[in-house]
Structure 1
Amino acid sequence: MRIILTNSERDEIILWLLCETIPGMIVSSNDLKSFKKRASRFFYCTVKNQLLYKGGTDVYLRFFTLDEEQFKKDFITLIHVQNEHDGRDRLYYFLKSKAYGITTRETSDMVNGCEICRSRRALVTIPIIDVHKRERYIVDLVDFRYYSDVNDGVKWMLVMVDTLSKYMWTVPAIRTIFMTFGPCFLLHSDNGREFCNDTTHHLFSSLVLQYEIYCRKTI
C-alpha cells in the first residue's frame, strides 16, 4: 500500500530518525510498533535536508507529502523538460527511479498539459480520395545494396502500388509502367532520403513539377 503522509507526520518521522523522539499521539504499544515500521522505510538526508524513501538497497527516492502537491508537479515538470519531453510511459518509469508515489495519472496530466508536447502530436489530415485507376501511385525503394554482389549488381527495387485497385508492379524498368499505362496524376512516396534529396529537388524544378514534402490537405 502506498504511504501517504502530511507535513506533521513527516516531521514526526524525521524526529524519530534523528533522535528517536516518540510522537505524543502514540499511547499504545501497537501504535508505536506501527509507527516504527513506517519510519523504518525512510532515510533522512542531512545534506539535502530531505526525507527520502528507501526504494531498495542503496536506493533512495524523493518523497512528497500531501501538502507538497505543487512541489511534486514542479518536480514532474522539471524531469519532463530535462528528458526532452518524454511521453507519458517513459516519463512515468523514469520518475519511478527518482521519486516515490508518483502516479500515471499525474504524469499523464503533465504531458497532456504541455504545450510543446501538444504541438508535436500528429496533425489531422484529410485523406486523398482516388476515383480512377492509375490516378495515384505509392512508391517505395527497397535497399539491396548490401546484397548487390549476389544479386547481379542490383542495388534497389522500386515497389509501386496503385492506390485505387491496390495492384502492385515489380518490374526491372520503371519506364515500362509509364510507357504502357501513361503517367499518373500523383506520385506518392515517404520522406526517405532516397526521395528527399538535392537530386530529386533539382529534377522536380527542371521539369516544373509541384513537389510537397508534407501537406495537410490535398485539393
Structure 2
Amino acid sequence: MDTAVNRDLFLEKLNALNEQTIVFIFLQKIFSEVVSAKIECNTPLDYRRLKRFDVLKINDKEKLIAPLKPGETNIQYYVTNEELYSILHETHTRIGHGGRIRMLKELQAKYKNITYEVVMLYLNLCKQCQMKYSAPKKGIVVKPMVSSELNSRCQVDLIDLQSNRDGEYKFIMVYQHHLTKFVRQRPLKTKRAEEVVHNVLSIFLTFGAPAILQSDNGREFSNQVISQICAMCKDVEIVHGKPRHSQTQGSVERANQNIQNMLTAWMNDNDRNKYM
C-alpha cells in the first residue's frame, strides 16, 4: 500500500528550504569535526562544536546528540537527511495522524534539529491529513455546559462506519463523561433499539447511571430506546440536542470526529479492514 506522503516529493520540497536543508545535509561533516574536537580541542571552531554537539555510542554506532547538562537524562539526537523522512513517517503514523502540535511535541522530545517548518512540510503532503482537514466543520460550542460531579451528565452518540465496516460491525457507540471527558466505545452491528440499550446499560452497570443522558435526535435514539432506558433507570433524565444544531453535543461530536479520523487512518496505513 502507498504511504500517505511520497518520499521523493518530500525530499524535493525539503531541498527548497535552503536554510533547513543545510542542517540535515552537513551533519556528517559536523560529526567528523566533533569527533576530532573531542580528541584535541584547539581552535575556536572546536570549542563551538563541543558547545553545541556531542557524540554518543549506541550499539557500536556513534550518533550526534545535543550535549547533556548536569542532571539531564533526556537525550536529543540530530537527524541526518537520510533519516528524516522515515522518522517523520513513523512518528506521524504512530500518533494516528495527529496535528502539528502533537507531532512537534513527540519529535522535539527526542530530536534536536527537526523544526516547525519541516513538520509542516510533511503534514501538508500527507494525503490522509488533507482529507481530514477538507471535511465539513462541525458547529462550534458557544455556551459550554458545566458539570461539577461525576455522572451528573454524560453524552452518547453513534459513529457510522458502514463504509469501513469490520465484518458485521458497522457502527461505534461513543459514551463520554462530560466532567472528565473519559470516553467508552462499543462496536455495534446495527442501530436497533435493543442493541443500543444493551450497550448503554452495560456501561451504566460499570460506572453507574448518569443524572442526565445527552443525545442527539437521530433515529438511533428513538422513542423506543428512550422508553426502554427510562423504564430500567427511572432517575435518568434524557436530554436531546436541537435538530441540526451540534452546540450541545460539541464535546462528543469532536470525540467522534477524532476517533473516526484516527481509526480510518490506522486502517488505511496498515491496509486492514478490521478495527476489532
Q: What TM-score comes out, normalization by structure 1 length?
A: 0.48
Q: What TM-score comes out, normalization by structure 2 length?
A: 0.40
Larger radius of gyration: 1
Q: Which has the higher contact order (CA 8 A, sep 6+)?
A: 2
